[in-house]
Amino acid sequence: MNFRRKVALALADILFLFLSLVLALGLRLDFDLGSMERFLSLEALLLYVGVAMWGVVSFSLFGLYDKVWRYAGVYELLGLFYACLLTFVPWEIFVLWGAGIIYPRTAAVIAGLLGLAACGGLRFLLRIQSTRRVLTRAGKRKALVVGANDGGEAIVRELAREDSGLVCVGLVDPDPQKKGLRIHGAPVLGDLSEIPALSAKYGVQALILAGVKPALVREVVRLTSAQPELQLRIMPNLSEVMEGQVQVNRLREVQIEDLLERDPVVSDMQAVRGYLEGETVLVTGAGGSIGSEICRQVLKYGAKRVILLGRGENSIYEIGMELRNQPVVQFISNVGNKERMEVLFQRYHPQVVFHAAAHKHVPLMELNPSEAVTNNVFGTKLLIELAQKYGVRKLITISTDKAVNPTSVMGASKRLAELILASRKIPGFAAVRFGNVLGSRGSVIPTFKRQIAQGGPVTVTDPQMTRYFMTIPEAVSLVLQAGSLAQGGEIYVLDMGHPVKIIDLARNLIRLSGYEPDVDIPIKIVGLRPGEKLYEELTNTGEETEPTTIPKITRVTTEPPPANWSADKLEELRKVSFASDDAQTVEILKSLVLQTPPSEPPSTP
């Protein structure tokens, strides 16, 4: 508020407080001029002006002239209440001391209430005037808020800003009992089923989802699939709402992650910082989806330096440019190149290693089994040996649910890498096993988006196929926490939540893109590809798990193989895979992994 407006408001307060004292006198004495006359002498009137001026001082002490009253809430109301107490309590004490001769004693109490009402009413009028100006401002797009809850209240309040570009016409809520209620003047117009009709009736252009559960998000997406012109937006996370940090310009589009039943991951920052802060950290596959996110999060935990290792120069260049103001080193090499890797360890002496480099594409590795084994098995084996040789304190290798009862070359190669690490039992070295991550390169989401952009069809291998999904940040957060638990050769399994049907994922993504599944964009069933399963598991047949101190991480408790496990077979596998003898590579890989029939598929909610 500028200086001129502050002065104007202070003068108005003086007038209203003065009039409150006079009006309270009249109310107390029934406006009997004869009785009032002795309290309206020039000396008394000057005394009332003094009280009013003291009121302005009290208001200043509580910062009431520094408030933006168009955003006033309970906090500002309490400040006004306390300022009025500071104004009128001394006046009441003074009146009581004068035994009612200076001013009627009960009139002092009435004056306090009138002063609070008058000064509060003035500020309330300022807010009403500002809100009315915002609501009638031309060019604003109309928005409907989903959720008459704390998040909805925060959004309605935020939309009252002049610069929001949106005006709230009302709210909808799953609870029909809330219909007819109002939040900051905005009515609750109905329940979710009425969204299409209400959007058409009020000319709604944006639908803002406020803190609703994934099941409700899915329902909203389904209900609005026939209205592609209706923009869907969702508020930031609830912690920002509770802290009053919601900003309309931070509302984002609804994403596929919002449709999944996922509990938030709570990081044990102290434990992670304890082994990363001040250390040199090597991240293999640093240009990939998981590797690049590991780099970002590791730097947040105070790593002294992060070595970005990858075989693809473009991806390493991109993550290097993103982190160019951070202490990072870019190093181009295949993780299986012994000479280059030896140079890396000699030059930089990493204390912590995250091994995310791997060939992950299942059908492609079925066509290239020798390459899958040389990279996923012997690249990992070399990294473990060099890390042990150069005194690395922590090594975490990223595994996959496809390593469980594997039916593919890729899964078997990752399972063999797990067994090699488990057999060594090196202190601080461990594997972390989890499923698919949303949005990673080559994963199903980018593929579906590309197919939708081309007009379809969206290809699904089987209507019953399910997969576990996590977001990249939450998967990496749990990997870093698992690193704090690593003792020596164990395998950790991340809680992946509920398996999701791929066909449901496809339908929801089509709806999020503004189309109707099987109407605008067809879905085509193409059958299982080589090496694929209908479902994934998180533990092998015969494996048992036990909880850890971190709720969403469990430890595999099966006895690991001995240190000299299958040394001759491994050497034979190395020779045939390096010679690109695909047939022999697959046979020896099968014999080492000892593939077992998969267990019954998990139930799908």
Would you name the residues annotated as active-site residues? 402
Helix (H) or strand (E) holding 429: strand 429-434
Contact assessment for residue 424 and residue 561, using Cβ atoms and an 8 Å cutoff = no
As a whole number of angstroms, the distance between CA 275 and CA 272 comes to 6
Residue type, 208: I
Residue whose C-alpha is closest to residue 309's, from 356, 239, 248, 374: 356
Residue whose C-alpha is closest to residue 62's, from 85, 44, 35: 85
Record the tokens describing residue 19, joined without a space.
């009039």
E strand map for 117-230: 141-146, 166-172, 182-183, 186-190, 206-209
Record the tokens describing residue 139, joined without a space.
């060019």
As a whole number of angstroms, the distance between CA 593 and CA 419 comes to 8
CA atoms within 13 A on the CB side of 553: 26
Cis bond leading into 547, ω under 30°? no
As a whole number of angstroms, the distance between CA 246 and CA 156 comes to 10
Residue type, 203: G
Contacts of residue 393, Cβ cutoff 8 Å, sequence gap at least 6: 275, 279, 351, 352, 428
Name the β-bridge partners of 209.
146, 234
Residue whose C-alpha is closest to residue 393's, from 292, 245, 311, 277: 277
Record the tokens describing residue 350, joined without a space.
């990493």
Contacts of residue 203, Cβ cutoff 8 Å, sequence gap at least 6: 142
As a whole number of angstroms, the distance between CA 192 and CA 147 comes to 9
Helix (H) or strand (E) holding 16: helix 3-28
Contact assessment for residue 552 and residue 495, using Cβ atoms and an 8 Å cutoff = yes
Contacts of residue 229, Cβ cutoff 8 Å, sequence gap at least 6: 205
Q: Is the dihedral of CA 168, 174, 179, 183 positive or negative?
A: negative
How far from 125 is each of 94, 117, 128, 131, CA to CA, in Å? 32, 12, 5, 10
Record the tokens describing residue 56, joined without a space.
């302005």
Contact assessment for residue 140 and residue 129, using Cβ atoms and an 8 Å cutoff = no
- 556 phi, psi to nearest 5 deg: -75, 130
As a whole number of angstroms, the distance between CA 419 and CA 599 comes to 20
Backbone region of residue 489 per phi and psi (left: phi > 0; alpha: psi in -120 to 50; beta: other values): left
Contact assessment for residue 160 and residue 70, using Cβ atoms and an 8 Å cutoff = yes
As a whole number of angstroms, the distance between CA 270 and CA 260 comes to 29
Strands 469-471 and 436-438: parallel
